[in-house]
Amino acid sequence: MILENLKEAPKDPILSLSAACRLDENPNKVDLGIGVYRDERGITPVMEAIKLAEAKLLQEQSTKAYVGLAGNEAFNTSMIELMLGDSRSKERAVGVQTPGASGALRMLADVIKSSAPDATVWLSDLSYANHAPIMWTAGLKVRYYPYFDTTTKLVQTDAMMDSLKEAGTNDVVLLHGCCHNPTGADLSFEAWKTITDMAIQQGFLPFIDIAYQGFGDGMEEDVKGFRYLADRVESYVLTGSCSKNFGLYRERAGIAVVAAKTIEQSNRIKTRILEAARSTYTMPPDHGAELVNIILNNPLLKSNWLNEVETMRLRVEGLRSKLASALRDKSGTSHYDFIAQHKGMFSVLGLSVEDAHILREKQSIYLVDSGRINIAGMQESQIDYIAESLLSL
Ligand code: LMR
């Protein structure tokens, strides 16, 4: 019988952690699993700029009628502006609003599959836990390029470039625009230049995923490498998320962007994304996207928002250096100094799966099996406990 053969799905490696942590009765429990920002009270606040934009929307919105398949087109334009800035490729870039950046990843994967059914998507080793499942579900092959050096905890750029020499015209190379998830180890600007040359010479399609703009070195600095590439390669695809930098996690505001050789071709590809969206979810939710659009087009709200993101960024940077120095002081070694060099919300600590399980079971510290901790989710008062627990392994 249909349905009767189905067994329970394996638990999601990230989302299941929050649920498990909620049930844990240990008063010292620490949730370092899912990538959400928390303030010193342990709360993921609604940003002030969002509250103001919501008040404006409540006053001014006159209809809840459908938007089109591309979602909120004003949001698409504003997000392209935010991510591409002064990049010349803006003239040939088109966007489609999607339910979160995961929705964008899937829509772009579907379109790549239609264009090149045998294409292989190269992912960094390690990569975001949902990248491979999304690509596989769209019917694409996945291959990994060396990325995270487990000894230095930085990017192994030479090995990465060596491996990517094999990528050709039937390949897609997925790069994290900034704040690499899960490792925290980012590409240098030099590495972006090398990849750009390789894409031009070898003809692979760069696929950039930007989910944490503003959490690394700053809103503009974080996209410097991406914009360098965008201006030089013939075509690229891009995903963007408003979950973290607008704190709009549950509103699912994301975008898929395509920049082909000409704007005419980009527009043709856009119709393919809309076709894929129609047969999947039809159109994305509008609320979060409209808030982003209001903020990005109102100078006062925009400057409030930029300040708020900068405050979050600096807080995460501070937590990084405090955790690194607690570990240095307590261990008398520089083994964990890399935590202060990493960018964005996460760091991979180089722990085994067993270590992650021990931390969860014995200390009620919840982290992803890859050894990723969400620095942005910790409170200063928890740092000593986290450091001591890590050193007890
Ligand atoms: C994460 O990596 O924790 C976030 O991007 C949340 C998600 O969708 O997995």
Cα of 140 to ligand 1 centre, how many Å?
21
| pLDDT score of 94 | 98
Average pLDDT, stretch 281-299?
A: 98
As assigned by CATH, the class of the 66-297 domain is: alpha beta
Find, among 79, 19, 52, 375, the residue nearest to 245 by Cα. 79
* Any ligand 1 atom below 6 A from CB of 14: yes
Residues 228-253 pLDDT 10s: 999 999 999 999 999 999 999 999 99
* Any ligand 1 atom below 6 A from CB of 100: no
Average pLDDT, stretch 22-30?
A: 95
Residues 34-68 pLDDT 10s: 999 999 999 999 999 999 999 999 999 999 999 99
Residues 206 and 152: their CA atoms lie apart, in Å, by: 26
Supply the mean pLDDT for the chain. 97
The overall pTM is greater than 0.85: yes
Residues 179-209 pLDDT 10s: 999 999 999 999 999 999 999 999 999 999 9
| pLDDT score of 336 | 96
Q: In Å, how far are 39, 42, 206, 378 from 36, measured between CA atoms?
A: 10, 10, 27, 10
| pLDDT score of 153 | 97
- CA angle at residue 244 from 259 to 299, to 5 degrees? 75
Residues 247 and 44: their CA atoms lie apart, in Å, by: 8
- CA angle at residue 341 from 182 to 101, to 5 degrees? 30
Average pLDDT, stretch 255-280?
A: 98
Residues 332-362 pLDDT 10s: 999 999 999 999 999 999 999 999 999 999 9
| pLDDT score of 65 | 97
Rounded to the nearest 10°, the torsion over CA 359, 365, 368, 374 is -140
- CA angle at residue 101 from 100 to 106, to 5 degrees? 105
| pLDDT score of 370 | 92
* Any ligand 1 atom below 6 A from CB of 181: yes
Measured from the Cα of 128, ligand 1's closest atom is: 2
Residues 210 and 239: their CA atoms lie apart, in Å, by: 6
- The fourth-level CATH superfamily of domain 15-45+310-391 is Aspartate Aminotransferase, domain 1 (3.90.1150.10)
Residues 109 and 115: their CA atoms lie apart, in Å, by: 10
CB count within 10 Å of CB 23 equals 7
Measured from the Cα of 368, ligand 1's closest atom is: 3
Question: Phi and psi (nearest 5°) for 93?
Answer: -100, 135
User: What is the band of 177 on the pLDDT scale with cuts at 50, 70, 90?
Assistant: very high
User: What is the band of 273 on the pLDDT scale with cuts at 50, 70, 90?
Assistant: very high
| pLDDT score of 147 | 98
Average pLDDT, stretch 144-148?
A: 98
Cα of 121 to ligand 1 centre, how many Å?
20
Residues 76-134 pLDDT 10s: 999 999 999 999 999 999 999 999 999 999 999 999 999 999 999 999 999 999 999 99
| pLDDT score of 181 | 98
Domain range annotation of the chain:
15-45+310-391, 66-297
* Any ligand 1 atom below 6 A from CB of 34: yes
The amino acid present at 1, given as its one-letter code, is M
| pLDDT score of 248 | 98
Residues 305 and 291: their CA atoms lie apart, in Å, by: 11
Determine what percent of the chain is predicted with pLDDT higher than 70: 100
* Any ligand 1 atom below 6 A from CB of 155: no
* Any ligand 1 atom below 6 A from CB of 373: no
